[in-house]
Amino acid sequence: MKSLYVKTIGDAGLKTLGTLELMNIPIPKPGEEEALIRIAYNGICGSDGHTLRGNLGPLTEYVKSILPMPVGHEFSGVIEEAGEVAAQMGLKVGDRVVANYARACGSCYYCRTGRENLCQHPINTMSGCSEYICCHMSQIHKIPDSLSLKAAAMTEPFTIAFHAVEMAQVKAGSRVAVFGGGGIGQMAAQLAKQCGASVVTLFEPVKEKRELAVRLGVDNAYDSIQEDVMEVTREVTDGLGYDSVIEASGSRGGATSALQILSPDGNVVYFSMYPTDFDLPLNLFTQCYQQQKHIHGMITSSLIWPRAIAVLPRIEVLPLIQKVYTLDEYQQAFDEHMTGAYAKVMIHCNQDLD
């Protein structure tokens, strides 16, 4: 089968890019507790770009040690074969599914306290840019008939948006700001609106992404580079600031502004992969003591997948998928993704699955 691999990674300091190669490898055979999934679509994630740039911080040397490394973790597909135990648990040939790329160990302290996203011994299945993939039954989730396979490939990034909105404590009447108009930022903005936010503002430098967000329901969208973010905040919130801020851009400017525009007692969530030499400017006396601001870090999601899948049909995700390429066109797909011009670029791994 065809499977895409990272062959080399770039040097973040020299601003070089790594390389990709489409390899032919054997189709994996599922074990008793696994299922073989024929992949329909796989979305390219921002973290894939970080890998090619070599912008992985302390993970850089580890990634170098496992090259060539398979690519892809935002995928949907159809079960081709199910192991005996997986079948007994309800997975059958023909089921339309998505899968969490991270399989938690279930035994460490964090798993046993309901925080599987912090698992100390995860097994990651990162080969979504392939024709087939094997996943453990605990990773696999069936999707409703109302969700196309193309839309379902947005499930993994939607779990991030879902987790961020919950962590930011968005509620009816909240004033919400989102930095970054990529797929996750756009979905977080839509979900915040559905949660009853009184105003949702998107800050994004790419005009087309701002226009897309407005079409999909945000109240206003501004250029985070060309416009004064603080002045916009004063005008939009009557000087109160935003109750909830979700930083989905991964930029230094967005990270700094997110904390600055947060209202007293507000919640800001950071989940992007920031430059490792970046330290967030923070005044503990003013922002934490006097203003009681709440700063949250976040990595992936924890026990959210079933709820996220139930909500995803209510989110406008297909307009976010702006470019789709075949597996053979992987280089063009990644080149387009790396421009940052599109909310989501996707690879159609098996073109007869739609």
pLDDT tens digits, one per residue of 231-273: 999 999 999 999 999 999 999 999 999 999 999 999 999 999 9
Instruction: Assign 320 a pLDDT band (cuts: 50, 70, 90).
Output: very high
Q: What is the pLDDT of residue 278?
A: 92
Q: Which of 99, 118, 126, 103 is nearest to 5 (CA)?
A: 126
Residue 302 has pLDDT above 80, yes or no: no
Listed in sequence order, the residues at least 6 apart from 234 whose beta carbon sits closer than 8 Å to its beta carbon are: none
| Number of other CB atoms surrounding residue 177 within 10 Å | 32
SS (H, E, C) the chain: CEEEEEEECCCCCCCCCCEEEEEECCCCCCCCCEEEEEEEEEECCHHHHHHHHCCCHHHHHHHHHCCCEECCCEEEEEEEEECHHHHHCCCCCCCEEEECCEECCCCCHHHHCCCHHHCCCCEECCCCCECEEEEEHHHEEECCCCCCHHHHCCHHHHHHHHHHHHHCCCCCCCEEEEECCCHHHHHHHHHHHHCCCCEEEEECCCHHHHHHHHHCCCCEEECCCCCCHHHHHHHHHCCCCEEEEEECCCCHHHHHHHHHCEEEEEEEEECCCCCCCCCCCCCHHHHHHHCCCEEEECCCCCCCHHHHHHHHHHCCCHHHEEEEEEHHHHHHHHHHHHHCCCCEEEEECCCCCC
Q: What is the pLDDT of residue 182?
A: 97
Task: Give phi and psi for 52, each to the nearest 5.
Answer: -65, -30
- The maximal CA–CA distance of the chain, rounded, in angstroms, is 61
Residue 153 has pLDDT above 90, yes or no: yes
- Determine the average pLDDT of the residues in 19-37: 98
Q: What is the pLDDT of residue 188?
A: 98
**Number of C-alpha atoms within 13 angstroms, CB side, residue 63?**
25
Q: Residue 11 has which token pair?
A: 């040097």
Q: What is the pLDDT of residue 202?
A: 98
Average pLDDT taken over every residue of the chain: 96
- Determine the average pLDDT of the residues in 299-320: 95
Q: What is the pLDDT of residue 12?
A: 82
Q: Are 254 and 277 in contact (CB under 8 A)?
A: no
In this prediction the pTM is 0.96
